[in-house]
Amino acid sequence: VYDVGEENGIYYIVMELVQGITLKHYIERKGKLDIREVLNISVQIASGMGAAHANRIIHRDIKPQNILVAVDGTIKVTDFGIARAATTNTYAADVNAMGSVHYFSPEQARGGYVNEKSDIYSLGITMYEMVTGRVPFDASSSIAIALKHLNEELPDIKQYNPNITRGLEGIIRKATQKKADERYDNIDILISDLKLAIIEAARVAKASKAEAAKE
């Protein structure tokens, strides 16, 4: 937000114009994304989340529909419409007003307490979708999907994308642990692992290229 004001009784907000599409549309257009592209996008999303978390803001609705992919490849985290300022304590979540059921955390699903780790879970689900081209939990009703977040293990990623690197798979699984205490302690640690995974993916790609050249 660049500015706010009022003119002739009409209140207005001046915001950045981002030329591009949502990450959701990007995934729908491309299907499964390349592993290195997933990592690049994820680092940018996580960095945006980190800026919010550093200011004690919990987004509470991280999902591909709220991520913009600009024409130059820049990633923007948008729509803080249900974001909340975190106090020294975590706060109760209203499951009926919070997030999108395909992406929200188990604690959001049960209407419990949420904090930065809830955003980390939603990022993990978003990363899963980028890698596989599909959401991990789906059903005919919101309640059924919420129950899957609470009770079902994350589906095997390799069955949908056998090219996923070990590092990225580990990041997604750690970010999406059912128990918040078993997830990343904070977004900065997740970013560090993503950067290591970028190095790993580059090494794997180089090895594959060398192997193809031999053939």
- The pLDDT tens digits for 22-70 are 999 999 999 999 999 999 999 999 999 999 999 999 998 999 999 999 9
- State the Cα–Cα distance between residues 28 and 83, nearest whole angstrom: 26
pLDDT recorded at residue 135: 96
Looking up tokens 């990007």, which residue turns up? 26
Give the span between the Cα atoms of 106 and 178, in whole angstroms. Answer: 6
For residue 185, indicate whether it is catalytic: no
Which amino acid does the sequence have at 171?
Answer: I
Relative to beta strand 10-14, strand 3-7 is antiparallel
Please give the model's pTM, rounded to 2 decimal places.
0.88
Where the chain has pLDDT below 70, the residues are: 81-99, 215
Partnered with residue 11 across adjacent β-strands are: 6
Catalytic residue among 61, 72, 79, 193: 61
Residues 6+ apart with CB under 8 A from 107: 93, 113, 114, 118, 180
CA distance 115 to 171: 19
Question: What's the pLDDT at 186?
Answer: 96
pLDDT of amino acid 97: 40
* Three-state DSSP state, 21: strand
